């Protein structure tokens, strides 16, 4: 029995393709975090290369990016702690909150110091994951 070469290639590649799609929610958020960090780094480089040195606008912009990077670090610590500290039934909610945190950081990257910022989700406003914050 002979199979066309395309069927053989497809059958051989299927496990790799399907395996790449089967990332855990934790791994998906780790990748998102890496992308957000890259965007922060790129924006910092842009500010350093485009804005004149020693100006209040540049310093305010760099402070804004530093604050976003600190928030990203806190979110990454929370993400790493989820499997160890959050009971299984609540992990999906924790991952949803952290996903929103990463999106909020991305949203706020291009904003200037005087622009209104998108607030962090209530469950992360204190810089830590608090799944009961939205319930109050």
Cβ-contact 131, 94 below 8 angstroms: yes
Long-range contacts of 87-95 (CB under 8 A, 24+ apart): 90/131, 91/25, 92/25, 93/131, 94/129, 94/131, 95/25, 95/26, 95/29
What does the pLDDT read at residue 125? 87
Query: DSSP 3-state helix, strand, coil percentages of the chain (rounded to 5)?
Result: 70, 0, 30
pLDDT tens-digit map of 10-68:
555 555 555 556 899 999 999 999 999 999 999 999 999 999 999 999 999 999 999 99
**Residues 108-115, mean pLDDT to the nearest whole number:** 89
What does the pLDDT read at residue 8? 47
- What token pair was written down for 68? 């976003």
């Amino acid at each position: 029995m002979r199979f066309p070469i395309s069927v053989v290639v497809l059958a051989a590649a299927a496990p790799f393709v399907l395996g790449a799609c089967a990332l855990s929610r934790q791994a998906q958020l780790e990748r998102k975090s890496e992308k957000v960090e890259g965007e922060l780094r790129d924006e910092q480089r842009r500010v350093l290369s485009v804005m004149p040195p020693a100006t209040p606008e540049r310093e305010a912009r760099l402070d804004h990016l530093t604050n976003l990077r600190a928030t990203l670090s806190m979110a990454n610590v929370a993400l790493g702690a989820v499997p160890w500290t959050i009971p299984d039934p609540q992990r999906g909610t924790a991952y949803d909150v952290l996903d929103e945190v990463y999106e909020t950081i991305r949203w706020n990257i291009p904003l200037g110091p005087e622009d209104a910022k998108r607030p962090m989700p209530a469950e992360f406003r204190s810089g830590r994951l608090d799944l009961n914050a939205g319930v109050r």
